[in-house]
């Protein structure tokens, strides 16, 4: 592996292999076929690019999109690797020039479109040179079950047979088992050579907020992403146009993208975005396939996506370079109704059912009060064992409302019962809220004793309650039968008053936008470097991220390397890039450092930089420095209850917190206090509810919560 490591550092400029890369590369070098399934940004390309540099002969990369091929060839060229492409977009002289280069053995990597590869003269030509490896990129195109089936891809299987000495590596980011087995079957790959990476994208921060004033919420969000690239997805073309105009009016650097624009307009807008000349792309889902821009710092879903898969794909376009990026979803019940309406229009019952199940999974994801990664990752059939990721809104600021919702539950359940367990949530809510709709009239429901008893709560609150009732198994939601609600055993206990229900009855609070934490880099230097990069990119006619990734610039702007040796330690800088750009970079950095009084040895230790400090750690440190909970609450404008939650997580993460500042907050009656602490000793500190029950509901949650902290704190 010594040689491989050397190439990794010298050519690609990376210190370590990512998960599975080394195993895959070894397999390819041993001429064992491989199927590689990795999420976007996982580092698939390296798995064939690196072996290509070791093989004596040629590596042929089949890729479905011309823009991707060009991107990769640019990237390889920037690393000093001989790579070329053959497809219908290049001129005749260039085509022959490229063929000549291959013949002379000057090329390591050849990128071809499938239809070009299938041409007989090309195949004969390739047979005359030493092809060592076929890399089939976007291999899901082989499968009719994939989202992008391409018939030409099917024929690649025959091509393989003509090159018995060449190893085959197929790569995709599509996780479904069906697509995987299709690829395997078609290319005659052995199952034992599957390499499937985790689909968890650790650098993406997931955040969901209730959509009440989407434009204002978007503008607020954008404030913290000045100068950074992002995509905003809207449901319709119309929506795209409106938001685009609004953002333009606010002087944002923005362009629209949807199928209603001309090809030229779309191409132009996309190019501007790729080249960092336009910051924001407002788009329908037509935008994104094959966009390899690595420095997309955020993706906003202005409207609800149609499934978890779609959401995962679309948010996945953020943070390919591994730098932290944010995914914001504006979530509203009316969007759910809108999508439900579209699903209802479908005539095929099977299709309807599948679409409804997908939507419901997305709603569960949005409604979860736990870590967002749990529903997201397990949806793809992967186990996810962490309880706390520190990179989603729920983990960073848990808003644990614990209210007694027994009374609204009783209202709702008895209304379901009285109307005969024949209706969906919408109608039940209409009865409770005393609606005068025709349906109510038709069924004579204005005469029910539950008619109008729930006016106090808005429709949205009721919907929120209903989802909690479903989750707590008080009612069953029969999605196949138009969402008719049925009561469970537990529901009868609640109606009788034998069981109480707890949950949240509050309107979702507006959440603070900032992810918290600071990026530890010098933003002034970063901007200077970014400007330089743009210049270099323009003169080389390539996208900026091909020259240096954002991550490279972040590292420079926090480590201040002032010599060739220290520059070589930077992520993404290898021998070739040093030669080409080293002096330009050094002159900028040295000048910057001397004018800012930054010494030669000012390098920060190389730690997990620019990963924002999780909120609970910040709060924990703040508290331990001697600032009381109420002072922090005031300063940070958050609820004391939230701070207590943060401190608890801080302890869960292995931290310890000081006892003294808690003393004024706990019950002064010692006997009372020790009865609570004894309860924790009996049932554990993991959850509050068991303790609440252990104490027969005599102590309030807030008190239990602070006592837990006290119990776990240290002198």
The residues binding Zn ion (CB under 5 A) are 371, 389, 392, 395
By the rule CB under 6 A, 313 interacts with ligand ADP: no
- Which residue in 29, 46, 289, 627 binds ligand ADP (CB under 6 A)? 46
By the rule CB under 6 A, 294 interacts with ligand ADP: yes
Could you tell me the smallest distance in angstroms from the CB atom of residue 117 to ligand ADP? 20
Angle between helix 615-624 and 640-652 (nearest 10) = 100
- The entry of Zn ion, ligand ADP, none that residue 97 binds, CB within 5 to 8 Å by partner kind: none
Cβ atoms of 427 and 439 closer than 8 Å: yes
By the rule CB under 6 A, 414 interacts with ligand ADP: no
Q: State how far the Cα of 508 lies from the Cα of 329, in Å rounded to an integer.
A: 14
- Which residue in 11, 14, 187, 474 binds ligand ADP (CB under 6 A)? 14
By the rule CB under 6 A, 9 interacts with ligand ADP: no
Q: State how far the Cα of 710 lies from the Cα of 700, in Å rounded to an integer.
A: 16
Cβ atoms of 547 and 537 closer than 8 Å: yes
The region of 188-196, 320-328, 413-421, 598-606 touching ligand ADP under the rule CB under 6 A is 320-328
Number of residues this chain uses to bind ligand ADP (CB under 6 A): 18
Distances (CA, A) of 66 to 73, 229, 290: 11, 23, 9
Nearest Cα residue to 79 out of 548, 626, 646: 548
The region of 15-23, 96-104, 552-560, 618-626 touching ligand ADP under the rule CB under 6 A is 15-23
- The entry of Zn ion, ligand ADP, none that residue 17 binds, CB within 5 to 8 Å by partner kind: ligand ADP
As a residue count, the chain comes to 715
Report which secondary-structure segment, H or E, holds 131: strand 131-136
Distance of CA 78 to the CA centre of its chain: 29
- Which residue in 4, 7, 11, 17 binds ligand ADP (CB under 6 A)? 17
The region of 16-24, 372-380, 461-469, 507-515 touching ligand ADP under the rule CB under 6 A is 16-24
By the rule CB under 6 A, 319 interacts with ligand ADP: no
For the sheet with 229-233, list strands across it. 204-210, 325-331, 296-301, 229-233, 280-283, 254-257
By the rule CB under 6 A, 70 interacts with ligand ADP: no
By the rule CB under 6 A, 307 interacts with ligand ADP: no
Which CB atom, from 140 or from 649, has the smaller least distance to Zn ion?
649
- Which residue in 45, 174, 325, 394 binds ligand ADP (CB under 6 A)? 45
Could you tell me the smallest distance in angstroms from the CB atom of residue 17 to ligand ADP? 5
- The entry of Zn ion, ligand ADP, none that residue 389 binds, CB within 5 to 8 Å by partner kind: Zn ion
Over its C-alpha atoms, the chain yields an Rg (Å, rounded) of: 29
SS3 track for 513-527: CCCCCCCCCCHHHHH
- The entry of Zn ion, ligand ADP, none that residue 392 binds, CB within 5 to 8 Å by partner kind: Zn ion
Residue 595: helix, strand or coil by DSSP? Answer: helix
Which CB atom, from 209 or from 573, has the smaller least distance to ligand ADP?
573
Structure tokens at 326: 């944010």
Which CB atom, from 6 or from 693, has the smaller least distance to ligand ADP?
6
- The entry of Zn ion, ligand ADP, none that residue 45 binds, CB within 5 to 8 Å by partner kind: ligand ADP
For tokens 């019940």, the residue is: 333
Which CB atom, from 374 or from 559, has the smaller least distance to Zn ion?
374
Q: At CB < 8 A and 24+ separation, what contacts does 480-488 make?
A: 480/353, 482/424, 483/424, 483/425, 484/421, 484/422, 484/423, 484/424, 485/416, 485/421, 485/423, 485/424, 485/425, 485/428, 486/416, 486/421, 487/413, 487/416, 487/417, 487/421
Which CB atom, from 43 or from 574, has the smaller least distance to ligand ADP?
43
Structure tokens at 450: 């539950």
Which CB atom, from 294 or from 313, has the smaller least distance to ligand ADP?
294
Cβ atoms of 330 and 209 closer than 8 Å: yes
Cβ atoms of 218 and 232 closer than 8 Å: yes
- The entry of ligand ADP, Zn ion, none that residue 261 binds, CB within 5 to 8 Å by partner kind: none
By the rule CB under 6 A, 314 interacts with ligand ADP: no
- Which residue in 140, 293, 320, 467 binds ligand ADP (CB under 6 A)? 320
By the rule CB under 6 A, 155 interacts with ligand ADP: no
Helices and strands, number each (H, E), in the chain: 34, 17
Could you tell me the smallest distance in angstroms from the CB atom of residue 15 to ligand ADP? 7
Q: State how far the Cα of 291 lies from the Cα of 67, in Å rounded to an integer.
A: 8
- Which residue in 44, 70, 467, 641 binds ligand ADP (CB under 6 A)? 44
CB atoms near residue 388 (< 10 Å): 19
- The entry of Zn ion, ligand ADP, none that residue 327 binds, CB within 5 to 8 Å by partner kind: none
Q: State how far the Cα of 488 lies from the Cα of 114, in Å rounded to an integer.
A: 56
- The entry of Zn ion, ligand ADP, none that residue 611 binds, CB within 5 to 8 Å by partner kind: none
Which CB atom, from 221 or from 384, has the smaller least distance to Zn ion?
384
Q: State how far the Cα of 408 lies from the Cα of 376, in Å rounded to an integer.
A: 30
Q: State how far the Cα of 2 lies from the Cα of 23, in Å rounded to an integer.
A: 14
- Which residue in 4, 7, 20, 43 binds ligand ADP (CB under 6 A)? 43
Between 512 and 551, how does the x/- string for binding to ligand ADP read (CB under 6 A)?
A: -------------------------------------x--
Cβ within 8 Å of residue 340, ≥6 positions away: 356, 359
For tokens 């690595």, the residue is: 294
The region of 40-48, 225-233, 592-600, 653-661 touching ligand ADP under the rule CB under 6 A is 40-48
For tokens 């029910």, the residue is: 448
Cβ atoms of 392 and 373 closer than 8 Å: yes
By the rule CB under 6 A, 21 interacts with ligand ADP: yes
Contacts with ligand ADP by CB under 6 A lie at 14, 16-18, 21, 38, 40-46, 294, 320-322, 549
């Amino acid at each position: 592996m010594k040689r491989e490591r050397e190439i990794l550092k010298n050519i690609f400029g990376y210190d370590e292999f990512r998960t599975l890369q080394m195993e895959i590369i070894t397999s390819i070098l041993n001429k064992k076929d491989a199927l590689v399934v990795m999420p976007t940004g996982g580092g698939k390309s390296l798995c064939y690019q690196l072996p290509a540099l070791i093989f004596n002969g040629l590596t042929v990369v089949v890729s479905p999109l011309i823009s991707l091929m060009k991107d990769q060839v640019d990237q390889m060229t920037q690393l000093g690797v001989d790579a070329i492409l053959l497809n219908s977009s290049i001129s005749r002289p260039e085509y022959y020039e490229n063929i000549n280069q291959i013949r002379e053995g000057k090329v390591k990597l050849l990128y071809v479109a499938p239809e070009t590869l299938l041409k007989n003269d090309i195949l004969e030509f390739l047979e005359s040179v030493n092809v060592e490896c076929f890399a089939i990129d976007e291999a899901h195109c082989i499968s009719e079950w994939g989202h992008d089936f391409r018939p030409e891809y099917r024929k690649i299987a025959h091509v393989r047979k003509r090159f018995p000495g060449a190893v085959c590596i197929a790569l995709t980011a599509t996780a479904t088992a069906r697509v995987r087995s299709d690829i395997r079957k078609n290319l005659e790959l052995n199952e034992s050579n599957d390499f499937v990476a985790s689909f968890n994208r650790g650098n993406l921060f997931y955040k969901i907020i209730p959509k009440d004033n989407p434009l204002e919420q978007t503008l607020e969000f954008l404030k913290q992403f000045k100068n950074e690239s992002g995509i905003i997805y809207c449901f319709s073309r119309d929506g795209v146009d409106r938001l685009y105009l609004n953002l333009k009016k606010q002087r944002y650097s923005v362009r629209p993208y949807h199928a209603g624009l001309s090809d030229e307009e779309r191409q132009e807008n996309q190019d501007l975005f790729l080249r960092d000349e336009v910051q924001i792309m407002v788009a329908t889902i037509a935008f994104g396939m094959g966009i390899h821009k690595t420095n997309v710092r955020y993706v906003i879903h202005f409207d609800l996506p149609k499934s978890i898969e779609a959401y995962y794909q679309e948010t996945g376009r953020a943070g390919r370079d591994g730098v932290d990026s944010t995914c914001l979803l504006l979530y509203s019940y009316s969007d759910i109704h809108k999508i439900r309406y579209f699903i209802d229009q479908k005539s095929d019952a099977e299709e309807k059912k599948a679409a409804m199940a997908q939507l419901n999974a997305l709603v569960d994801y949005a409604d979860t009060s736990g870590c967002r990664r749990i529903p997201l990752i397990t949806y793809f059939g992967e186990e996810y064992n962490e309880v706390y990721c520190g990179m989603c809104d729920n983990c960073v600021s848990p808003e644990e409302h614990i209210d007694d919702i027994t009374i609204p539950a009783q209202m709702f359940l008895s209304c379901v019962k009285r109307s005969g367990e024949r209706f969906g949530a919408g109608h039940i809510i209409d009865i409770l809220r005393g609606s005068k709709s025709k349906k109510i009239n038709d069924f004579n429901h204005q005469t029910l004793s539950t008619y109008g008893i729930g006016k106090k709560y808005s429709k949205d609150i009721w919907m929120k309650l209903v989802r909690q009732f479903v989750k707590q198994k008080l009612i069953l939601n029969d999605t196949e039968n138009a969402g008719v609600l049925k009561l469970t055993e537990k529901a009868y206990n609640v109606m009788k008053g034998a069981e109480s229900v707890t949950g949240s009855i509050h309107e979702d609070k507006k959440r603070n936008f900032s992810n918290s934490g600071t990026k530890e880099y010098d933003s002034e230097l970063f901007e200077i470097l970014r400007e330089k990069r743009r210049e270099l990119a323009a003169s080389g006619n390539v996208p900026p991220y091909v020259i240096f990734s954002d991550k490279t610039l972040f590292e420079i702007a926090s480590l201040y390397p002032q010599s060739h040796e220290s520059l070589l330690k930077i992520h993404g800088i290898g021998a070739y890039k040093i030669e080409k750009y080293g002096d330009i970079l050094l002159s900028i950095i040295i000048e910057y450092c001397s004018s800012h009084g930054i010494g030669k040895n000012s390098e920060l230790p190389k730690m997990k930089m620019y990963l924002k400090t999780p909120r609970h750690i910040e709060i924990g440190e703040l508290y331990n420095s001697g600032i009381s909970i109420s002072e922090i609450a005031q300063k940070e404008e958050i609820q004391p209850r939230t701070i207590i939650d943060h401190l608890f997580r801080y302890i869960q993460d292995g931290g310890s917190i000081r006892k003294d500042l808690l003393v004024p907050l706990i019950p002064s009656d010692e006997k009372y206090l020790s009865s609570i602490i004894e309860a924790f000793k009996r049932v554990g500190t993991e959850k509050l509810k068991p303790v609440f029950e252990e104490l027969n509901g005599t102590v309030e949650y807030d008190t239990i919560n602070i006592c837990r902290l006290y119990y776990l704190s240290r002198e």
